[in-house]
């Protein structure tokens, strides 16, 4: 584990990069079509597929957000940030699935969350570690 001491710009940049990689892995190859479609209640209601009833959206969204939480926890070493990531990711993705935001806005907001985690550590407000 590598500490992210307050004011250490190089470590902050490394952690930012690691969080961006974790986000890319969790949002693309680890999400898969089943979760990507299943987390969208609006899509499931329109689909009308008895093999994919609309009520599965909660499980699919939960699984997707847990994958993101795990990525944040693995990179930062913080279970608190992992829990925060779960709630924020859920909130942002529900908004996207409801049509309140678009793909680009969603991705930018997810990366802003990661930047805020690193910024808080850089400022010394929270303590983070990173897997070497």
Nearest to 109 by CA among 96, 122, 99, 120: 96
Query: Is residue 1 predicted with pLDDT exceeding 50?
Result: no
The reported pLDDT for the residue numbered 52 is 78
Average pLDDT over residues 112-132: 84
Q: Tens of pLDDT along 38-68? A: 888 888 888 777 777 778 889 999 999 999 9
Q: Tens of pLDDT along 64-108? A: 999 999 999 999 989 999 999 999 999 999 999 999 999 999 999
Burial state string for 2-37 with b = 16 or more CB within 10 A and e = fewer than 16: eebeeeeeebbebbbebbeebbeebbeebbeeebeb
Domain ranges of the chain: 2-130
- The pair phi, psi for residue 51, each rounded to 5°, is -80, -15
Average pLDDT over residues 25-35: 92
3-state SS, residue 114? helix
Place of tokens 């990531």: 85
pTM above 0.95, yes or no: no
Query: Is residue 132 predicted with pLDDT exceeding 90?
Result: no
**Residue 9, token pair as written in the block:** 């710009």
């Amino acid at each position: 584990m590598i500490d992210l001491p307050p004011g250490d710009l190089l470590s902050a940049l490394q952690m930012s990069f690691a969080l961006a990689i974790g986000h890319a892995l969790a949002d693309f190859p680890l999400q898969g079509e089943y979760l990507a479609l299943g987390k969208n209640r609006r899509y499931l209601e329109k689909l009308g597929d008895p093999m994919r009833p609309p009520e599965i959206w909660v499980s699919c969204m939960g699984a997707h957000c847990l994958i993101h939480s795990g990525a944040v926890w693995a990179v930062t070493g913080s279970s608190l940030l992992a829990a925060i990531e779960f709630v924020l990711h859920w909130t942002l993705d529900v908004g996207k699935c409801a049509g309140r935001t678009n793909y680009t806005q969603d991705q930018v907001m997810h990366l802003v969350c990661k930047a805020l985690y690193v910024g808080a550590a850089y400022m010394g407000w929270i303590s983070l570690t990173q897997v070497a």
